[in-house]
Structure 1
Amino acid sequence: MNTRHYLTSALIATALLSGCKKDGETAAVIPEVPENTAFVTRLFEYVPAPGQFINLGSGRMESAQSILKKEGIVSLGAWGGYIVLGFDHTVINRKDLPDILVKGNAQSNFAEPGVVWVMKDENKNGQPDDIWYEIAGSEFGKAGYIRNYEVTYTKPTPVNGDVSWKDNKGNTGLIEANTFHSQSYFPDWISGAEYTLKGTLLPSSNINMMNPAFVTSLPFAFGYADNIAGGDQIDIAKAIDKDGKNISLTGIDFIKIQTGIQANMKSVGELSTELTSVTDLSLIK
């Protein structure tokens, strides 16, 4: 619910008693209504894939909470790792304008694109239990783009060893441990010996590892998180349904962001989407 446009009888009564803002000509009482927060304010899920920052620094539950109501930093790990966040109001789909700003730590020659999903609170229960719609970015439908992709990660032995994975296309690989981060890369709070993540796989065509000393991962044109230096402007009008057809949304209440590329970049480690903030562009002054 957008508190900017909803005036309850209780607020009006309070305004009459307190004598807050008045219109000089009509003397009509204009109640003061709490401002909505530009930043996301609620964390519903944080399920990262294994990665070199998981279980320390930016890869903990406390890190996920760090981007609520302010800037912080959280890592989503390798492909499929995700976070589900909510606003304290409905973000309106503005005509011919971007609606959400997602900031990460992307650089001009090193992006770690994440897929963005949005949801409207159709049943009005304040929970992200309706339908997720993918934001169709610039790579939608291109070679290497795969929907309904799945990866299963297995807890290693020893726990700080390489993490093996297999996907639903018959491929296997490793999230390799490195000398810079010696902790377990498998999330400590995940119970069981393995877990499966599902979503959309993005092409890895932007990655160049010809020079091991200077690995690059160039940004895509638009529509992803942790993709463009300075932040990515997301347009709700780009939302698509499960069949890839455009869906018209008046606004959204929840957002999910998920690492989109499965890539072992050797000395650099796995590609992992990072976030520093998620905000409603209409509330940024």
Structure 2
Amino acid sequence: MKKYAFLLLPLLAAACNSDEQITTTRIAEPVARIVEYTPAPGQFINERNALSGFAGEDTPQAACAYAQRRLNEGAYVSLGGWGGYIVAAFAAPVPATGDYELYVAGNQMTTSSEPGVVYVAQDTDGDGSPAGETWYELKGSEFAAADRNYRITYRRPSADGDPVAWTAVDGEGATSAGEIGRIGEHTQAYYPAWVDAAELTFRGTRLPNNIAEGEVDDQGRPVTAWIAQPFAWGYADNYSSIDRQGAANRFRIEDAVTADGSPANLTQIDFIRVQTGINDWRTRIGELSTEVCAIGCYRTVTTAE
């Protein structure tokens, strides 16, 4: 497993009974393995080109291997439309420090943020799997305005070239419907090829729409501005001025909350999940899919020299 130097914090001290110097260094450590990759349908899913990098993956295991290879290369992994997600495991528990302990790198730009919600879990039964564990959302700046009980179902189209229809139910029980339509040169099937089920349902937190307001067409879709605005902090693939460092957004375990929004007070975590957070069907640019280029944690390493 590769480890990358991130931020050097030298603390030099003479050993008690030798001339050794103790150096403490903070490193960025990538996740050890991809546990699950289940994107929602989207314009980059299954796309066999150098940009998206798919090669006909048709099993969940092959999809995980694809995602792992892409992250190893620093290439993006698209999570598709709202709800699509990736789950990863750390090599060892990541302790809570009160500082930034986690990071997720994306491909955000000043005019394009596609925020993803981050969740964490502990390996309470010690079996190395997040199955059956409780997931805790990391609270971000839009927490109060978000719908934390959103549900969406995508239906496999009868033909690969057809749009992917979806229906959703929000936290108040109101329903909505739409489709992920065909976008330009993205002509492949949008529904994940390794998902056998005819319907794909996701649950989680839906963030507020972030496309800039402006002139709209007769369906209420913006036509003069395609600025996907960033949120203040707390989300992946988000051009934040607070938690972004380069391409990475940084996260604190202390921001984890329970289902009712109370602090989770976690002392450490073992797993991380990133999930597309926007479902803005007003746009003509396709789904606002969270892209992930790296996932990892920060650790403090002490060496004697």
User: What is the TM-score when the length of structure 2 is the normalising length?
Assistant: 0.76
AA at the equivalent of 2:38: V
- The 5 A counterparts of 1:148-187 are 148-168=149-169, 169-187=174-192
The alpha-carbon deviation at position 192 of structure 1 amounts to: 2.4
1:141 aligned to which of 139, 144, 153? 144
Conserved in 2, the CA contact under 8 Å of 1:50 and 1:186?
Answer: yes
Cα distance in 2 for residues equivalent to 1:47 and 1:232: 22
Mapped to 1, the partners of 2:127 and 2:143 lie a distance apart of 31
Write the mapping of 1:22-37 to structure 2, written as runs, cut at 5 A: 25=17
Matched AA of 1:127: S
- 1:175-254 to 2 correspondences below 5 Å: 175-208=180-213, 210=215, 212=223, 214-228=225-239, 230-254=247-271
Unaligned segments of structure 1, at least 5 residues = 1-22, 28-35
**Alpha-carbon distance change, 59 to 272 in structure 1, aligned in 2, over 3 angstroms:** farther
- CA apart distance, 1:59: 7.3
Q: Is the 8 A contact 1:39 1:68 kept in 2?
A: no
Q: Which residue does the alignment assign to 1:55?
A: 46
Could you say if the C-alpha distance between residues 59 and 188 of structure 1 is closer, same or farther in structure 2, counting changes exceeding 3 Å? farther
Structure 1's 206 and 237: CA in aligned 2 closer, same or farther, altered over 3 A?
farther
- Does residue 257 in structure 1 map to residue 278 in structure 2? no
Shift of the 70–205 alpha-carbon distance from structure 1 to 2, 3 Å rule, reads closer
Of 78-87 and 191-200, deviating more is 191-200
**Does the C-alpha gap of structure 1 residues 270 and 139 become closer, same or farther in structure 2, counting only changes over 3 Å?**
same
CA RMSD of superposed structures (Å): 2.5
Gaps of 5+ in 2: 1-14, 20-26, 55-62, 216-221
Report how many aligned residue pairs link the two structures. 253
**Aligned-pair distance for 1:208?**
4.0
| Pair 1:209–1:82, CA change in 2 (3 A) | farther
1:102-154 Cα deviation digits (max 9, x unpaired): 11000112100000000111222211131100001000011xx1112110001
The offset of 1:37, in angstroms, is 7.5
Distance 1:240 1:153, change over 3 A: same
The CA deviation at 1:267 is: 3.8
State the match for 1:32 in structure 2: none
Q: Contact between 1:176 and 1:269, CA under 8 Å: does it hold in 2?
A: yes
- Determine the C-alpha separation between the residues in 2 that align with 1:50 and 1:209: 28
Deviation at 1:89, TM superposition (A): 1.3
Q: Secondary structure at the match of 2:29?
A: coil
CA gap 1:180/1:209 in 2 versus in 1, 3 angstroms: farther
1:43 is aligned to 2:34: yes
DSSP-derived class of the 1:127 partner: coil
Distance 1:24 1:136, change over 3 A: closer
1:70 CA displacement? 5.9
Q: Which amino acid aligns with 1:45?
A: E
| Conserved? CA contact 1:53–1:59, under 8 Å | no
Name the CA shift for 1:250/1:24 in 2 (closer, same or farther; >3 Å).
closer
Aligned counterparts, 1:98-109, within 5 A:
98-109=100-111
